[in-house]
């Protein structure tokens, strides 16, 4: 498509993994339109990740929490102010990577005459686009799917997938201090463990993560750090209690910027399908992931240096957030995960 936009609005509000997957498309668009001002609309919890990109000029915050907590008057007022701000931005191109009614409607209200989105987007959002991009393969990885928007404007397909995340020196110093003050020294091998996930169906049993921690400490003298958000403190403490090695838990103690600094320093991340998995992969840190209800072809850790552990069961991938049987995760044994972990550590050390 021939267009020379002066002001570009990218709409990708959440979640952490999806935002990270969209960063190579941002780099490609910056290369295609070097003189354009590029702004990104994002949910408040993820603003640190977006601000870490060198290819972005402006971050605009969407206050989704007010809608979730039914603060209707506050939410409506903020929404009106948001649309007013977008209008003042005089955007001539809006690219909706979220693909939901909310994001596509905001793109329309922004005043941008050219509005781009995927033809198979959900919640009737294609109705609000001026141009729709066909997705040729429903099983293509999210990184490649988001890059279709850049190819639509003539960006070459032979560029390296660059996530380009800058790490703040202050965050690096905090992580180094925290490792020294805790039970992990920061010496190699430094292994991060993420025992939680947003969906319950994606969580491997906590006691099996604890078993991994004990083996890694005994056989590899590994320094182990448990990570997660504030909502993951309970499961992190359970893993810590069950692991005789007593790993350092930093669950609920790090900002996104600090977590980025930690995962960059980490030799290996062992995790469920989660946001930290995508962050580690974007940073070039090796990953071992236990997969169950989700499809790694679509949302697996991006790159060739990662290992997946999963069991082939008839119902997977089901993409259900809650599952009574939980067969796909329960059938994955600690021995299978340890085999993948040892393969990774042998390559690293």
22-38: pLDDT as tens digits: 999 999 999 999 999 99
In this prediction, residue 73 carries a pLDDT of: 64
- Tokens representing residue 232 in the block: 């993951």
In this prediction, residue 68 carries a pLDDT of: 59
In this prediction, residue 182 carries a pLDDT of: 77
How far is it, in rounded angstroms, from Cα 275 to Cα 206? Answer: 18
In this prediction, residue 104 carries a pLDDT of: 96
In this prediction, residue 9 carries a pLDDT of: 98
How far is it, in rounded angstroms, from Cα 188 to Cα 176? Answer: 13
Helices 233-242, 206-220: axis angle to 10 degrees equals: 50
In this prediction, residue 185 carries a pLDDT of: 65
Domain boundaries, the chain: 7-152, 169-348
- Tokens representing residue 162 in the block: 């660059």
In this prediction, residue 184 carries a pLDDT of: 66
Give me the residues of the chain with pLDDT under 50, please.
none
Whole-model pTM over 0.75: yes
Q: Do domains 7-152 and 169-348 have the same CATH topology?
A: yes
CATH 1.10.10.10 fits 7-152, yes or no: no
> CATH for 169-348?
3.40.50.2000
Secondary structure of the chain in HEC code, one letter for each residue: CCCCCCEEEEECCCCHHHHHHHHHHHHHHHHHCCCCEEEEEEEHHHHHHHHCCCCCCEEEEECHHHHHCCCHHHHHHHHHHHHHHHHHCCCCEEEECCCCHHHHHHHHHCCCCEEEEECCCCCCHHHHCCEEECCCCCCCCHHHHHHHHHHHCCCCCCCCCCCCCCCCHHHHHHHHHHHHHCCCCCCCCEEEEECCCCCHHHCCCHHHHHHHHHHHHHHHCCEEEECCCHHHHHHHHHHHHHCCCCCEECCCCCCHHHHHHHHHHCCEEEEECCHHHHHHHHHCCEEEEECCCCCHHHHCCCCCCCEEECCCCCCCCCCCCCCCCCHHHHCCCHHHHHHHHHHHHHHHC
For the chain, the C-alpha Rg in angstroms (whole number) is: 21
Residue that is written with structure tokens 């907590």 in the block: 69
């Amino acid at each position: 498509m021939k267009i020379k936009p002066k002001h570009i609005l990218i709409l990708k509000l959440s979640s952490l993994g999806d935002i990270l997957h969209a960063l190579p498309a941002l780099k490609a668009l910056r290369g295609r339109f070097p003189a354009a001002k590029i702004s990104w609309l994002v949910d408040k919890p993820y603003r640190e990740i977006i601000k870490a990109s060198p290819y972005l000029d402006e971050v605009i915050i969407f206050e989704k929490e007010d809608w979730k907590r039914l603060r209707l008057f506050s939410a409506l007022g903020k929404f009106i102010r948001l649309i007013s701000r977008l209008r003042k931005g005089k955007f001539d191109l809006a690219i909706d990577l979220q693909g939901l009614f909310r994001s596509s409607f905001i793109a329309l209200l922004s005043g941008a005459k050219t509005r781009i989105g995927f033809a198979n987007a959900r919640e009737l959002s294609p109705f609000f686009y001026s141009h729709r991009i066909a997705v040729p393969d429903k099983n293509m990885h999210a990184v490649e799917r988001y890059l279709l928007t850049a190819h639509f404007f003539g960006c070459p397909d032979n560029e390296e997938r660059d996530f380009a995340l800058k790490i703040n020196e202050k965050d690096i110093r905090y992580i180094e201090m925290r490792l020294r003050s805790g039970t992990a020294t920061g010496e190699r091998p430094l292994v991060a463990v993420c025992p939680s996930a947003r969906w319950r169906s994606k969580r491997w049993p906590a006691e099996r993560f604890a078993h991994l921690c004990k083996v890694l400490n005994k056989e590899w003298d590994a320094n182990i750090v448990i990570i997660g958000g504030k909502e993951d403190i309970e499961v992190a403490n359970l893993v810590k209690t069950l692991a005789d090695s007593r790993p350092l838990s930093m669950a609920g103690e790090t900002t996104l910027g600090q977590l980025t600094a930690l995962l960059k320093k980490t030799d290996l991340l062992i995790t469920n399908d989660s946001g930290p998995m995508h962050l580690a992969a974007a940073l070039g840190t090796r990953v071992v992931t236990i997969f169950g209800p989700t499809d790694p072809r679509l949302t697996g850790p991006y790159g060739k240096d990662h290992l997946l552990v999963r069991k082939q069961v008839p119902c997977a991938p089901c993409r259900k957030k809650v599952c009574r049987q939980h067969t796909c995760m329960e059938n994955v044994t600690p021995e299978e995960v340890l085999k993948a972990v040892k393969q990774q550590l042998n390559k690293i050390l």
